[in-house]
Amino acid sequence: MCGIAGLWAPDLRLEERRALVASMLGALAHRGPDGMASWSDASVTLGLTRLAIVAPEAPTQVIANETGRIHAVVNGEIYNHRSLAGWLVTRGHDVPAGPDTGVVVHLYEELGCDFPAEMDGMFAAAIWDAGRRRLILARDRAGEKPLFTSRAADRFAFASEPAALLRLPWVSRDPAPESLARYLAHGFFAGGDCAFASLRQVPPATLLEVEEGFERPTRYWRPWDALAARPGSGSRPLAAGEADDRALVEITAGHLDRSVATRIPREMPFGVLLSGGLDSGLIAAAASQTAERFPTFSMRLVGEGYDESAYARLVADHLGTEHHEVTMDHGEGEAALESFAAGMDQPLGDPSVLPTWLIARFAARYVPVVLTGEGGDELFAGYPTYLGHRYARLADRLPPFVGRAALACARLAGPSAHHLSVAHLVEQFVATRHMEPWLRHLAWFGNFGAHQARALLAPELGAALTDADALGYLRDLERGLSASGLRRLVATPGLAGYQLLDFELYLGGGLLTKVDRCTMAHGIESRAPFLKRELVELALSLPDRAKLRGTTGKWILKRVANGVLPPRIAARRKQGFSPPFSAWARGPLRREVQAILDPRRVKRAGVLDPAAAEAVLNRHLSGEAECGRALWSLVSLELWAERWVTGRPIGAGSRAGSASDRPPYELSTTGTTATIAEDGG
């Protein structure tokens, strides 16, 4: 089941609630093209759209317990549903054969609000307990599946995407200033943030109890608990000597193999998205031990320093998969921008959304499920930033004039074809000298500093904000670590601290959001084996030397790859899956980007500050600075504002304000009586 929605509104008549939920489900049809169903009682309506993967022949329906007192809708997959069903039967429950999500209502009966802790899967679940008049919402540990909520007076609504909630006529489209400041700083919405002030996300690994008049969130799992539970907890929970290298490699390989095996569907064909890197290659290699020949898919990016397709072909040839390849040039990039990225109901400050959308569309022609490598870099220290912190300490000791001279020399070469140019890396080091470690890490991964993020918002949005608002995610993590007895990580993050920061923010807010939206746009399901709980906890509790040894990141995964993948795959440095948007913005897409960020157009949209946005654009176009990723975050935000906030097209080529985005009903209320009128459009 891949799209869920619901409405608790005792003041509305049954037919009104049904019509509103049907409208919400219409906005989610792409997430579940195989069926739609809803259920109602006197005050609540639950609905879902289904992508049938497990028990595809079963009818689409809202699941219920034996007495009909508890109903639920679930988005995602429960990979251990067979073992859970067996246990529930021994406890006296009648668990009919059918979709994996059928165990959820019985698990709730048995365990109450502790039920998510027993589920291995990616999920967003909503349970209505009629006996207690309580709505329970829960989201998976890493945040693979989304869930948004809205409360207005006595009405509470939830849905898999903001666009569905915006079908409710009382839900405001006003932007959320604090959330947008954090978006500009980091490039994504993490935790409970949403771009709309009237909406909230249920954070990953969180259970939300909703009753009349209050909401109570509870975090049921935290990745750092695996560190806190070990003696001498800190950044090195397994000290050198507790397990030798060979044993650690065998343990890691075993966990990865088991995780991949649980993610391979039994009843449907599947494929693997191959980037050409180590993580997706290991996923494909593990899958080849369990499954017969399956397809793999890769992207050929036209642009110097961006194309990894040759490495993906090398892996496919080595494993004997049925390999397919799709090409993206600037023309395909522009088409993806106009047909998908410009219509996203939340901006996403990562231009890799463009090739991800295209390869998901391509893979959907062949299979309904794909395995991906998300999580490998965060869990096993694959990003160069982890190594960068070692050198940053050296840079802090250099006189200021040395940094300025290094930057001047690096810029002599002019703009680079690749966004990670030498000049850009030097600039990042110079700009972050003497920063506290947490802030330096965020600056390397982010788009704008806290002060600049606030200044980029339109004055009426940014006026009441402080720089601290843009750092809310970091402070939340620091409080969580301190509460778990990991205060040493707050003062001196070390490798484990930076990994936790990336897991909580970049992975959950950015990467998983991108993959979910792009795959669901084409009715295809993505599964990330690295995110199985046991593998996550193992990876984070490994000694630093098993992840970052010398200058080698993902050391242990590279040892796992020995004899499994071609040696060139483990030996190559991380490249990153990103289009050459930086070069496109200076070249073939220059006029398009300039048109989107035209100050007059930006002023009419009312979310960005026209002069501040233009300054970023001009710095990038002139070659004064490398701002490609930051520039994309502005483009994405501006297009979102035009389509979803103003609700009307602004400028040529805009897809804003289509009839399908507007709520099809107008709800007028007089006292406690509400009526729905058809929109004449």
Q: Concatenated DSSP letters for 436-494?
A: -HHHHHHHHHSSS-HHHHHHHB-HHHHTT--GGGGGHHHHHHHHHHHHTT-HHHHHS-H
Is 50 exceeded by the pLDDT of residue 661? no
Angle of helix 533-541 relative to helix 245-263, nearest 10 degrees, comes to 160
- Cα-to-chain-centroid distance, residue 596: 25
CATH top class, domain 3-221: alpha beta
Domain with CATH 3.40.50.620 in the chain: 243-381+496-571
Looking at per-residue pLDDT, the higher value among 15 and 410 belongs to 15
Q: What are phi and psi of 209, to 5 degrees?
A: -95, 125
Q: Which two tokens stand for residue 330?
A: 């600037």
Q: What are phi and psi of 217, to 5 degrees?
A: -85, 145
Reported as a single tens digit per residue, the pLDDT across 310-353 is 999 999 999 999 999 999 999 999 999 999 999 999 999 999 99
Query: Which residue(s) pair with 670 in the sheet?
Result: 673
- Judge whether 441 and 385 are in contact, CB under 8 Å: yes
**By three-state DSSP, how is residue 242 classified?**
coil
Q: Could you tell me the pLDDT band of residue 411, with boundaries at 50, 70 and 90?
A: low
Under DSSP, the state recorded for 348 is -
Under DSSP, the state recorded for 228 is H
What is the predicted pLDDT for the residue at 496?
92
What is the predicted pLDDT for the residue at 417?
53
Under DSSP, the state recorded for 433 is T
Q: Which of 90-94, 149-153, 233-237, 249-253 has the lowest mean pLDDT?
A: 233-237
User: Mapped to the 3 state alphabet, what secondary structure does 250-289 carry?
Assistant: HHHHHHHHHHHHHHCCCCCCEEEECCCCHHHHHHHHHHHH
What is the predicted pLDDT for the residue at 415?
54
Reported as a single tens digit per residue, the pLDDT across 261-309 is 999 998 899 999 999 999 999 999 999 999 989 999 999 999 878 899 9
What is the CA angle 270-563-552, rounded to 5?
Answer: 95
Is 50 exceeded by the pLDDT of residue 664? no
Q: Please, what's the b/e burial string for 599-634 (b: 16 or more CB within 10 A of its CB; e: otherwise)?
A: eebbeebebbbbebbbebbeebbeeebbbbbbbbbb
Is 70 exceeded by the pLDDT of residue 104? yes
Average pLDDT over residues 220-229: 85
Q: What is the DSSP string of 554-596?
A: THHHHHHHTTTS-HHHHHSPP--S---HHHHHHTTTHHHHHHH
Q: Could you tell me the pLDDT band of residue 166, with boundaries at 50, 70 and 90?
A: very high
Q: Which two tokens stand for residue 384?
A: 């160069």
The 10 Å Cβ neighbour count of residue 536 is: 22
Q: Taken in order 482, 486, 488, 491, is the CA torsion positive or negative?
A: negative
What is the CA angle 556-559-560, rounded to 5?
Answer: 90
**By three-state DSSP, how is residue 6 classified?**
strand
Strands 155-159 vs 200-201: parallel, antiparallel or unpaired? unpaired
> What is the pLDDT of the chain when averaged over all its residues?
88
The rounded distance, in Å, linking the Cα atoms of 560 and 134 is 47
Is 80 exceeded by the pLDDT of residue 392? no
CATH top class, domain 243-381+496-571: alpha beta
What is the predicted pLDDT for the residue at 601?
96
From the list 185, 586, 214, the residue with the least C-alpha distance to 419 is: 586
What is the predicted pLDDT for the residue at 57?
81
Reported as a single tens digit per residue, the pLDDT across 520-554 is 999 999 999 999 999 999 999 999 999 999 999 99
Average pLDDT over residues 493-507: 94
What is the predicted pLDDT for the residue at 225?
87
The rounded distance, in Å, linking the Cα atoms of 95 and 64 is 10
| pTM of the full structure | 0.91
Reported as a single tens digit per residue, the pLDDT across 54-87 is 888 888 999 999 999 999 999 999 999 999 999 9
The rounded distance, in Å, linking the Cα atoms of 65 and 406 is 67
> What percent of the chain lies above the pLDDT cut of 90?
74
What is the predicted pLDDT for the residue at 292?
87
- Judge whether 381 and 495 are in contact, CB under 8 Å: yes
Q: Could you tell me the pLDDT band of residue 196, with boundaries at 50, 70 and 90?
A: very high
Domain with CATH 3.60.20.10 in the chain: 3-221
What is the predicted pLDDT for the residue at 576?
74
Average pLDDT over residues 169-184: 97
- Judge whether 126 and 6 are in contact, CB under 8 Å: yes
Average pLDDT over residues 11-17: 96
Tell me the C-alpha to C-alpha distance, in Å, between residue 657 and each of 30, 647, 660: 19, 5, 8
- Judge whether 45 and 11 are in contact, CB under 8 Å: no
Looking at per-residue pLDDT, the higher value among 112 and 153 belongs to 112
**Placement of tokens 């599946």 in the chain:** 145
Is 70 exceeded by the pLDDT of residue 234? no
Average pLDDT over residues 88-100: 91
Q: Please, what's the b/e burial string for 313-330 (b: 16 or more CB within 10 A of its CB; e: otherwise)?
A: bbbbebbebebbbbebeb
Element (H, E) at 303: none
Is 90 exceeded by the pLDDT of residue 420? no
Reported as a single tens digit per residue, the pLDDT across 438-486 is 988 998 888 999 999 999 999 999 998 999 999 999 999 999 999 888 8
Taking only Cα atoms into account, the Rg of the chain, rounded to an integer number of angstroms, comes to: 25
